[in-house]
Chains A and B, each alone.
Chain A
Amino acid sequence: MTSEARAGTKDEPRRRDFGAYGVSVRFDDVRALEDVTLPVPAGAVTAVVGGDGAGKSTLLRALAGVVPVEHGSVVAPDRRRIGFMPTGGGTWAELTVDEHVDFVGAAHRLRGSDLERRRERLLDATGLREARRRLASQLSGGMRQKLAFGLATLHDPVLLVLDEPSTGVDPVSRVDLWRLVAQAASAGAAVAFSTTYLDEAERAGTVLVLDQGRTLLSGPPDDVVRGAPGHVRRATATHDPARTWRRGREVRAWFPVGAEPVGQAVPVDLEDAVVAAALAREATA
């Protein structure tokens, strides 16, 4: 790693936040990430979105320090001040909720009244008080994810990295999880999370959209929507099927910059913007 790479000169904000800067990651012959920058400011939630294999998990794992970076730099606190929730939660099936708190607390050298205070806070925040003696394998998917979140925040980390915390979770638990994420950010933590749900990403302060390991779009959700390339219209039967997508009962169509858009204009949201950007990249590839 060179000092230039360490400096992370590309797309670097004025105040250097936690995050990954100009990061590239390679697994054998596969380039998983290429020159991706993800600032994660304190007190805000930063979302990473993208399809399967886009590189979301790799980016967050690089940020957490479990994936080596080929180029670029990662700005992250000491591990004692990182909270990490891997894909699937990372709970131990044969441990109870209380035993999880004991273990994670011990790893962070929390003990005595301090640990008990944090245990009570976790049980209240996650609604797991009644289930504190149940094994993780006996919890529902949503309860397990909330436990994992609680464990990731038990030690009040300054950087919280959550890899698809809401995937496979029922809508009610998703709302609960989002509440917990928002609370962590409002308490001052820098929160980075990945999701496949664009409605969740819209609530984040900043969104990074990845496609095949590269940055497709990034910025505050409103800016990302405003910056969607080309034009989005309500589709008709004459539109190119390769440039249309379904939204509820409607079908949307995308037209590149310079083309004459056909069809009724529609309000563009983050999902439309992401699809439009992906189609624009395909068109220029």
Chain B
Amino acid sequence: MRAMIVKEFRELRRDHRTMAMLFALPIVLLVVFGYAANFTIDSISTQVVGPHADQVATLLPPLFDVQGTDPGATADDARGLVRDDVADVVLDTSTSPPTAYVDGSSLFVAQTASAALGRAGDQVLTEVLFNPDLTTSWVMVPALVGLILTFVGTIITSIGLVRERQTGTLEQLAVMPLRPADVIVGKIAPYFLLASFDMLVVTLLGVWIFGVPFNGNPALFALAAATFLFVVLGVGVLISTASQTQGQAIQVALMTLMPQILLSGFIFPLQAMPAAISWIGYCLPLTWFVKVSQGIMLRGAGLDSLWPALVVLAAMAVLVFSAAVLRFRRDLAPARRTTARTAEPVSA
């Protein structure tokens, strides 16, 4: 038995990925959960509009972080500010009592805001927009679409690519008269199509089973999903270039998946996280896709308000996918770059 234990420790010591999962991951999880696992909202971004905007803004409790006032704005403008994600709460002082429009697509923020506004009794009329019953599934389904795309794009793609390496067929492909672009596109396109199909099914089932509204532009949603898919497929390809076995690929893919689940605002609200942790979240592609998918499906937001998130996703797609293709191309045709190869035998 002692020999078995010694052998196991020796193997573990040399398996850096497993060691990372054993030691680094628990510490990361502890820190992340300790700071990020927080449903308590301390600050709600707020705009106050209408003729008494400046006066009412000074009366709001500190929970409502008033970021701007506009005495000239109308009720429609107020709704527009919520739809465009300018603020989570917009207080319209043109009505009596004032009306607070709350963004129901930010579930925890909306719950906190509704509770605080409820304590004011008849002094404020509260209207929760886009998710009036604060139904959890309405917020989760658009985010789940992103999670499923991440799963297919990262884990399934990396496994599929590493399988070629593990069985020796990648070398076979390298010698065949296929251009690296043919191999790369040929390998990735099926996963792109399958992930797109998955996205369509999940979105339709979400709408059909859970009654999640789809208020926005489907074409914009498809564009965002395709851009996001390029990012996660790129991550999958990158993982495959750094893995020799399918087990290694799954390990690394899980390590990229877990922070996205925890820090994208999908489960824990970004507003409740300390700045340092939420910034990690803003570096993750799922965070931006969740913003876009919730914006389009629930709020009916358009390109004019979602473009910053789409630009971030596009930049990530170009960066990650280019790096992935370059690395994969290097693996596929190392000798074509460096070896002196003469085409034909020659006679003296």
- Where the two chains meet, the residues of A that have a C-beta atom closer than 8 Å to any C-beta of B are 1, 5-6, 14-18, 42, 61-62, 64-69, 72-80, 82, 84, 86-93, 104, 107-109, 161
Nearest residue (CB) in B for A82 is: B175
Contact of B335 with A by CB under 8 A: yes
Nearest-Cβ distance from residue B196 to partner chain A, whole angstroms: 22
Query: By the criterion CB–CB under 8 Å, are B334 and A68 in contact?
Result: yes
Which residues of A have CB within 8 Å of B175? 64-66, 79, 82, 84, 161
Query: By the criterion CB–CB under 8 Å, are A15 and B347 in contact?
Result: yes
A228 to B211, CA, bound (A): 83
A84 to B175, CA, bound (A): 7
Query: By the criterion CB–CB under 8 Å, are B176 and A6 in contact?
Result: no
A82 to B178, CA, bound (A): 12
Closest 3 CB pairs of A and B: A90-B172, A84-B175, A68-B338
Nearest residue (CB) in A for B339 is: A69
Which residues of A have CB within 8 Å of B167? 88, 90-93
Which residues of B have CB within 8 Å of A66? 171, 174-175, 333-335
Nearest residue (CB) in A for B172 is: A90
A68 to B175, CA, bound (A): 13
Nearest-Cβ distance from residue A78 to partner chain B, whole angstroms: 6
Contact flag A68-B337 (CB < 8 Å), given A16-B345, A86-B171, A88-B168: yes
A109 to B178, CA, bound (A): 10
Query: By the criterion CB–CB under 8 Å, are B335 and A62 in contact?
Result: yes
Query: By the criterion CB–CB under 8 Å, are B340 and A84 in contact?
Result: no
21 pairs from A and B in contact (CB 8 Å cutoff): A5-B340, A14-B348, A15-B346, A16-B346, A65-B174, A65-B175, A65-B336, A65-B339, A66-B333, A73-B342, A74-B341, A75-B342, A76-B343, A78-B177, A78-B343, A79-B177, A86-B171, A87-B168, A89-B168, A104-B176, A161-B175
Q: Hey, what's the 0/1 contact readout for B311-348 against A, CB within 8 Å counting as 1? A: 00000000000000000000001111111111111111
Chain B contact residue count (CB 8 A cutoff): 26
Nearest-Cβ distance from residue A155 to partner chain B, whole angstroms: 9
A61 to B336, CA, bound (A): 12
Nearest-Cβ distance from residue B67 to partner chain A, whole angstroms: 55
- Say which residue of B337, B339, B348 sits within 8 Å of A15 (CB atoms): B348
- Say which residue of A69, A74, A84, A93 sits within 8 Å of B342 (CB atoms): A74
Which residues of A have CB within 8 Å of B348? 14-16
Q: Which of A74, A80, A86 has the most CB of B within 10 A?
A: A86
Nearest-Cβ distance from residue A26 to partner chain B, whole angstroms: 11
Q: Which of A15, A75, A108 has the most CB of B within 10 A?
A: A75
Q: Which of B169, B176, B336, B344 has the most CB of A within 10 A?
A: B176
A75 to B344, CA, bound (A): 6
A109 to B171, CA, bound (A): 19
Contact flag A90-B171 (CB < 8 Å), given A16-B346, A18-B345: yes
A16 to B339, CA, bound (A): 18
Query: By the criterion CB–CB under 8 Å, are B172 and A86 in contact?
Result: yes
Query: By the criterion CB–CB under 8 Å, are A65 and B335 in contact?
Result: yes
Which residues of B have CB within 8 Å of A14? 348
A69 to B339, CA, bound (A): 5
Query: By the criterion CB–CB under 8 Å, are A69 and B172 in contact?
Result: no
Query: By the criterion CB–CB under 8 Å, are B168 and A6 in contact?
Result: no
Which residues of B have CB within 8 Å of A16? 342, 345-348
Which residues of B have CB within 8 Å of A75? 341-342, 344-346
A67 to B333, CA, bound (A): 8
- Say which residue of A17, A76, A84 sits within 8 Å of B341 (CB atoms): A76
A110 to B344, CA, bound (A): 23
Nearest-Cβ distance from residue B294 to partner chain A, whole angstroms: 38
Which residues of B have CB within 8 Å of A161? 175
- Say which residue of A1, A61, A91, A104 sits within 8 Å of B338 (CB atoms): A1
A89 to B340, CA, bound (A): 27
Nearest-Cβ distance from residue B241 to partner chain A, whole angstroms: 15
A74 to B338, CA, bound (A): 11
Nearest-Cβ distance from residue A125 to partner chain B, whole angstroms: 19
Q: Which of A14, A65, A80 has the most CB of B within 10 A?
A: A65
Nearest residue (CB) in B for A103 is: B176
Which residues of A have CB within 8 Å of B340? 1, 5-6, 69, 72-74
A104 to B167, CA, bound (A): 16
Which residues of B have CB within 8 Å of A69? 335, 338-340
Contact flag A92-B169 (CB < 8 Å), given A1-B339, A69-B339: yes
